Structure 1
Amino acid sequence: MIKRLRKGHRLPVDAPEPVAGDPHGVDHWRLEYDVLERVGRQLRSVGDALARRAFRYDRRYILTLRRNESPGPMTLSKEGTVHEIRFAQEQWSEHRRFALLHDLTDCLRIADVTVFHDWHADRERDLRFHELKSNPRRREGVRLARTRTAAEALYAGGPLPGPDRARLVETGVPYATHLSALGDAFARAHRAGLKTMRVPGQRGLLALDIAAAGDRWGLPEAVRQFRSAYAALLRRTRLSGERVCFGSGDSAARNTLAPPWGIYPLQPAQCAGLIADVLVFSVTLSSDNFVEELRKTGLDAPGSCRTDPT
């Protein structure tokens, strides 16, 4: 619709109706497009969580299979998509094997499907990457070569796909978080609208339940309360150096390296709230403390770092 209206063409007789606004207005169709893009990312965020669970949270698979361009929107109008779905259904109905379609995710961008042959918890999982062709005559040389490179990187220590020839390296650094504090902050924000707290490591956490805050104050006053609470949190935390900030808003399926909200050890409703941006949080920490923690692990870091606090 956007392309037709930009060219001055008339709308077709069977044109769909936008949810709101004039169907002849380009801006109203842009809103439809933005909503479609956002819902697509939210669903793919769920797919990312499914992928990590299927791979037993082994980040090597994500780090390897993410190294390609995004496949774009998934649509049943493509013959390849229908072929992949049929293949996954046959794997289960005929062999009782779970087949994960990569286009359902944002983080799996190499190969079309992963088939899990072995589901025993006490054994090494046997899985296969498949590059499918709906047309047997079609050549898939580049895609097939990329899939083989990914398999060699995972199982033979070869270079990762891509021009930089990177390789997987075990750092030995444990991954520690304070996610229990985040769950507690959301539980309190559900009752009070928002909650701030200090987190170990000279960090400040602000959690916001948009629905609860709107019911309590109304949206304009909720925004003012948010800003006031954030300023008070920074004063209490007494951050040194520059401020390093991370906000959760509108981040579902935007970064293939980031763990998806669906695998966070929170209540299911809280995970869903993060995916849909009904719940949001912001973490602010000291650049001095951040640099010091990097140096403790043996990573060289600059003496200062700057980020946009917004």
Structure 2
Amino acid sequence: MKLLDLGVEPEEVIAHPRHQAAQVDLVPLIERVRACCSPKDGYELQQDLLRQILEVEEHRNAFSKAVKRMRDGKPPQAGAPEPQSGLSPADIETWVLERELCERVARQFRSVGDALAWRAFNHDRRYILALCRNPPSGIMAGKAGLKAELETVETHWRDDGQFALMRDLTSCLRIGDITAWQDDGPHTYEIKTNARYRSTVQERRIATAYDAIRTGSALPGDNAGERLHDVDTPLRTHLELLQTATERAAKDGIFAAKVPGSRALLAVDLYGVIGQGWTRQEFQQRVARQWDAARRRACIGSQLDFNVHATSLDSVSRDPLRVPWGVYPMHPVAAARLIGDVMTVVVETSGPSLAEDLTARGIPAQWVRPPGTQNLMAGEVVMEMHNETEWRTANGLTATLSRTLQLKPSEMDHYLIELLDQDCWAAGIQHLLLSSGASDRPWPVFRDEGDTWL
């Protein structure tokens, strides 16, 4: 459930005391992630992050219990936390709001856990792509196996001086319970309080994930064609424009600009908007005017039904494939505002324009998504790219190799929200099309990616 679906205005969320307190807490946590350079740093940060998440999840559990009681015609249970919104505690909507705000704040703290995971893996995307392939974890507070996991973390630290990261503090790590960084690299473990309850299925998924990283074999899951593929192209982006956008939006309220590669970017900072003193109507008019101008400069404003976008709004710790804002090259305050939706970023492109760009680079591409303004659906094919290679065999015959790659929302999101340089992105696609060893569903990983993230 999203708070906007409950009819809650963004200003009500931002002004809520719990949300404001989280904004204050996020900044030093992000700073500590970026400063982590030893197992001790990671261990101590994890302890503080654990305390933050457990506290907010315990409150969420209590608010959830109160909501259930009120739906049964009973009053909230004795000892339930007091609602902080200032709304009437006699209304069930007040308690629903508090429950959903706790869920939201817990995800914001988990986004810091995601940043810690990226930092610990030295920003090697392969580990995230391999270890995210399970359903998301549930609530950590009250979890039966939590004590055993905490003891395992303590044992690694106390006995061997090793940092062991708990999966439940993140959204991007979903296979195994903890990952410990040992002398020969990271190892992921499933922790059980009783050896009789060992999950051989999960242990096999752990082994499959690490085999996929080391050997290029199939990733965990039912599709043997899903494999990591190293692209011999350094990652290049336009993230300096995102940094400019966050700085300008914080000052001016709104920033919109053309992004190379048939894209337009919009950043809105609520604190910056409030500082301008605009009415709601003035704000809406200014956003529309600047956004339309940016689209025109990017040449994507003529057929909006063919446009698709990626947004930061209420997205943290929902998609494990997204790079967490905490490791983006921007000020930690800007990262915290994006995590908490105090600032929102949208990046938009035109499908047909993008296909034309690739075709002009020698990659025949066709935008296949029908026109419509609805959001992209997981697994939906939006564009197809083709390649045909001919060669003569030893007996004089001509052989033709045809290959088609399908672009889906996960890769589109990667191109948009990370502001990939289009030449770099196209070179990666070309590499996959020409590679005889590429699988039917390759997950590309660019070279030297660690140089991009903080």
With structure 2 as the length reference, what TM-score do the two structures score? 0.62
Using the TM superposition, give the Cα deviation of residue 56 of structure 1 relative to its aligned residue in structure 2, in angstroms: 1.2
Q: How far did 1:299 drift? A: 8.0
Q: Shift of residue 219 of structure 1?
A: 5.7
Contact 2:351 2:367 in 1 (8 A): no
The answer on 1:140 being equivalent to 2:199 is yes
Residue number in structure 2 paired with 1:149: 208
Of residues 118, 122, 129 in structure 2, which corresponds to 1:56? 122
Query: Whole-Å Cα distance in 2 between the matches of residues 217 and 309 of structure 1?
Result: 32
How far has the Cα of 1:280 moved from its partner?
1.4
Cα-to-partner distance string for 1:38-95 (whole Å, 9 max, x where unaligned): 11111111111111111111111111111101111221x2241122122212212221
Amino acid of the structure 1 residue aligned with 2:332:
P
State the match for 1:217 in structure 2: 277
Secondary structure of the 1:222 match is helix
Listed as ranges, the matches of 1:125-204 within 5 Å are 126-165=185-224, 166-204=226-264
Cα distance in structure 1, aligned partners of 2:215 and 2:221: 17
Q: Which amino acid aligns with 2:347?
A: V
* Whole-angstrom distance in 1 between the partners of 2:148 and 2:362: 47
- 1:40 pairs with 2:40: no
Query: How far did residue 218 of structure 1 move?
Result: 4.1
Distance across 1 between alignment mates of 2:216 and 2:248: 47
Tell whether the 8 Å contact from 1:245 to 1:309 is kept in structure 2 after alignment: no
- Residue 99 (structure 1) shift: 0.7
In 1, Cα distance between equivalents of 2:213 and 2:307: 37
CA displacement at 1:149 relative to structure 2: 2.1
- Show the 5 A alignment for 1:255-274: 255-274=319-338
Contact 2:209 2:219 in 1 (8 A): yes
Conserved 8 A contact 2:263-2:295: no
Deviation at 1:304, TM superposition (A): 5.8
The one-letter amino acid paired with 1:53 is R
Q: Distance in 2 between matches of 1:65 and 1:215?
A: 43
Matched, 1:109 2:183: no
Kindly indicate whether the alpha-carbon contact (under 8 Å) linking 1:214 and 1:222 is maintained by their aligned counterparts in 2: no
The answer as to whether partners of 2:251 and 2:272 remain within 8 angstroms in 1 is yes
What is the aligned counterpart of 2:93 among 5, 27, 36?
Answer: 27
The alignment-based identity, stated in percent, is 38
Partner of residue 121, structure 1: none
Contact 2:216 2:229 in 1 (8 A): no
> Any conservation in 2 of the 1:204–1:234 contact (CA below 8 Å)?
yes
CA distance in 2, matches of 1:148, 1:307: 42
Shift, 1:5, TM fit: 1.7
How far apart in 1 are the matches of 2:230 and 2:76?
A: 56
The amino acid across from 2:130 in the alignment is T
Opposite residue 268 of structure 2, the aligned amino acid is L
Between 1:170-179 and 1:158-167, the stretch displaced more is 170-179
Matched residues in 1 for 2:240 and 2:372: separation? 26
Instruction: Tell me the CA shift for residue 300 of structure 1.
Output: 5.3
Match of 2:313 in 1: 249
- State the one-letter code of the partner of 1:225: R
Structure 1 residues 274-301: Cα deviation after superposition (integer angstroms, max 9, x where no partner): 1111221222222223224555585854
Q: SS of the residue aligned with 1:34?
A: helix
Check if 1:16 corresponds to 2:77: no
Could you tell me the TM-score, scaled by structure 1's length? 0.88
Q: Does 169-178 or 83-92 show the bigger shift?
A: 169-178
- Give the match's secondary structure for 2:145: helix
Q: Does the residue aligned with 1:133 lie in a helix, a strand or coil?
A: coil
* Partner SS state of residue 14, structure 1: coil
Separation of aligned partners in 1, 2:363 and 2:230: 13
Note the C-alpha offset of 1:248.
Answer: 1.5
Verify the 8 A CA contact 2:312 2:338 in the aligned structure 1: yes
What is the identity, as a one-letter code, of the residue corresponding to 2:134? N
Residue segments in structure 2 that go unaligned for 5+ positions in a row: 1-65, 376-454
CA-CA distance at 1:136 after TM superposition: 3.3
1:234 equivalent to 2:295? Answer: yes
Equivalent in the alignment of 1:276: 340
More helix by share: 2
Greater strand proportion: 2
Q: Secondary structure in 2 aligned to 1:163?
A: coil
RMSD over aligned Cα atoms: 2.4
